[in-house]
């Protein structure tokens, strides 16, 4: 989830055109690292290296785990006077003045929706290959689209040839 958010909407991270010394190097390693994590994980899952098949139960467990982590960290924050995770979220959204209870409610509702939407990618994109890449389980969307376009193109080409023959 983190790499997706970082690539879509980065906040206060290295900028390519930064005047800071080594600005490009920081930008390159930051975004390259997040992109490699994102696409590496997708590759391992989609090409069947893990042998895992994602389901609705896994998404539900991820939402429960996220809620437990937030509650645990907030308990830690209250006990030790720190501001982990919740402080990062309020700072990123610019809602530092909002009461803590409202922030927690916002995180539980929007956060669980965010987790469900983010994990729906791996739910709808099932693994393409059996474990060890032996045989293909199903055609990909790209293969289906190219086959459809190819048949449409060939049909239109045949229609033009038939009209010329008449």
Selection from 135, 114, 128 nearest residue 44 by Cα: 128
Give the span between the Cα atoms of 22 and 6, in whole angstroms.
20
Q: Which domain holds residue 153?
A: 139-166
Q: What's the pLDDT band for 12 if we cut at 50, 70, 90?
A: low
- Among residues 46, 67, 83, the one where a domain terminates is 46
Looking at the structure, do residues 93 and 108 belong to the same domain, yes or no? Answer: yes
Give the global pTM.
0.57
Looking at the structure, do residues 65 and 129 belong to the same domain, yes or no? Answer: yes
Report the domain count for the chain. Answer: 3
User: Which residue is it, tokens 């809620």?
Assistant: 67
Looking at the structure, do residues 60 and 27 belong to the same domain, yes or no? Answer: no
Count other C-beta atoms under 10 Å from residue 127's C-beta. 20
pLDDT tens across 13-38, in order? 555 555 556 566 666 666 777 778 77
The distance in angstroms from the start CA to the end CA of the chain is 59
Looking at the structure, do residues 150 and 120 belong to the same domain, yes or no? Answer: no
């Amino acid at each position: 989830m983190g790499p997706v958010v970082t690539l879509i909407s980065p906040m206060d991270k290295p900028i390519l055109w930064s005047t800071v010394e080594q600005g490009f190097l920081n930008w390159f390693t930051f975004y390259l690292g997040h992109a490699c994590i994102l696409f590496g994980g997708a590759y391992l899952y989609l090409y069947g290296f893990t042998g895992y098949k994602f389901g609705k139960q896994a998404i539900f467990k991820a939402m429960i785990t996220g809620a437990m982590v937030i509650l645990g960290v907030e308990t830690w924050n209250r006990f030790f006077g720190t501001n982990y995770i919740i402080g990062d979220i309020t700072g990123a959204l610019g809602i530092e003045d909002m009461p803590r209870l409202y922030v927690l409610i916002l995180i539980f509702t929007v956060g669980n929706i965010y987790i469900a939407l983010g994990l729906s990618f791996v739910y709808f994109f099932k693994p393409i290959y059996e474990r060890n890449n032996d045989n293909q389980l199903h055609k990909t969307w790209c293969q289906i689209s190219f086959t459809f376009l190819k048949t449409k193109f060939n049909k239109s080409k045949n229609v033009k040839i038939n009209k010329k023959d008449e």
